[in-house]
Structure 1
Amino acid sequence: MKEKLSTLVLAAPLAIITLTGCSMSDQNSDETKFAGTSTTKDASDALLKVSSGIYDLIGVKGKASDGSTGVQECPGKDPKKYFQIFHPWSLRPASASDVEKAMKNLRAELPKHGWKIVEYGPDTSKNKNINLTADNDEKKAGVNVVQMLKDNPPMLSLTVVSGCYKVPDGQKVQYF
């Protein structure tokens, strides 16, 4: 179990880099989209609601991990004033067919709820895991979902990441 968790933790930065690249940006900029002014706690609470909404779209029962949110620097911004929130978590449905069904549900349902799928297909790993990356401009968030059918047990690995927030004047970014 610790090995799987560490794999997810190590995979999270890659997913976050993917999500904070051009797909979370204005068309003519490499900058991460501005999500507004917020404390890290309020931004974390907001991203947990986004993750919960994604969980609802999965449409299959399973065991979700208790992944907590984290705070990271915004690329190219003052780390004392700007931050992003990320939330890595996983879902282990009862069967491999439920993992496939969950991914199909997400691919169909995310666009109906304001998400734009910007990438879908197998990765370059030996397992050729299916990856889905989607952005939601209204929520100023992105999600990367990896369908891991060959894991034991099979699962979905998700990382949800916010756009770039600025802390209110007079406050500091709280990293956790």
Structure 2
Amino acid sequence: MKTKLSALVLAVPLVLTITGCSMTDNDSDEVPSGGTSTSRDASDAMEKVSSGVYDLIGVKGKASDSRPTVTDCSGKDTKTYFQILHPWSFTPASASDLDVAMERLKAELPKNGWKIVDYGPDTSKNKNVNLVADNDEKKVSVKVIAMAKDEPPMLTLDLVSGCYKVPDGQEVERF
């Protein structure tokens, strides 16, 4: 489990790199603004977004029990700017439902405000299918990896927010 969690955390910069351009209003590599929020409120909002993605999977299975965490915004003051990261996984009740879950996400995310910006196998020896999507309205990106050759087969999901600024007079709460 620690290995998989480490892999998820390492994948976050990749998610930011792949999706950073798409969530902005211009052609820069800058991570978009998430607006002004406390860490707790932004975390609660991210849990709702994750729950919505979970609902789109549409097959029986079990999601990991993980909570969002606060990360730094690259190049910004760490006392006043932050992002929310929510890594989690989904294990379908039946291994054969892994492909069904991935196809449902590919079909349903765009119907629910997400733009798919990348889809296809990665360069690993397992050729895991990756899906990256942005939700400009919510300023959130998701990277989903179908790990079909793992035991058990599962989806790993990393959701990452735009860069928030805490309200004046407050500091970022880390958790």
TM-score range, shorter chain: over 0.9
| Partner residue in 2 for 1:133 | 132
Decide whether aligned partners of structure 1 residues 79 and 2 sit closer, same or farther in structure 2, where only a CA change above 3 A counts: closer
Q: CA deviation at 1:12?
A: 4.0
The alignment status of 1:93 with 2:78, answered yes or no, reads: no
The alignment status of 1:8 with 2:8, answered yes or no, reads: yes
Once the two structures are superposed, the pairs formed by residues 56-135 of structure 1 within 5 Å of their partners are 56-135=55-134
Please list every run of 5 or more consecutive structure 2 residues that lacks an aligned counterpart in the other structure.
none
C-alpha separation between the residues in 2 aligned to 1:104 and 1:42? 31
Please list every run of 5 or more consecutive structure 1 residues that lacks an aligned counterpart in the other structure.
none
Q: CA deviation at 1:175?
A: 1.8
The alignment status of 1:161 with 2:160, answered yes or no, reads: yes
Q: CA deviation at 1:63?
A: 1.1
So what's the TM-score if we normalise by structure 1?
A: 0.93
Deviation beyond 2 Å, 4+ runs, structure 1? 1-19, 23-28
C-alpha separation between the residues in 2 aligned to 1:4 and 1:75? 24
Contact kept in structure 2, 1:16 and 1:159, CA below 8 Å: no
C-alpha separation between the residues in 2 aligned to 1:2 and 1:170? 37
Contact kept in structure 1, 2:8 and 2:158, CA below 8 Å: no
C-alpha separation between the residues in 2 aligned to 1:174 and 1:6? 23
Identity percentage over the alignment? 69
Contact kept in structure 1, 2:116 and 2:134, CA below 8 Å: yes
**Which residue identity lines up with residue 24 of structure 1 in the other structure?**
M
C-alpha separation between the residues in 2 aligned to 1:159 and 1:113? 18
Decide whether aligned partners of structure 1 residues 32 and 9 sit closer, same or farther in structure 2, where only a CA change above 3 A counts: closer
So what's the TM-score if we normalise by structure 2?
A: 0.93
C-alpha separation between the residues in 1 aligned to 2:133 and 2:90? 18
Q: CA deviation at 1:22?
A: 1.5
The alignment status of 1:38 with 2:37, answered yes or no, reads: yes
The alignment yields a C-alpha RMSD, in angstroms, of 1.5
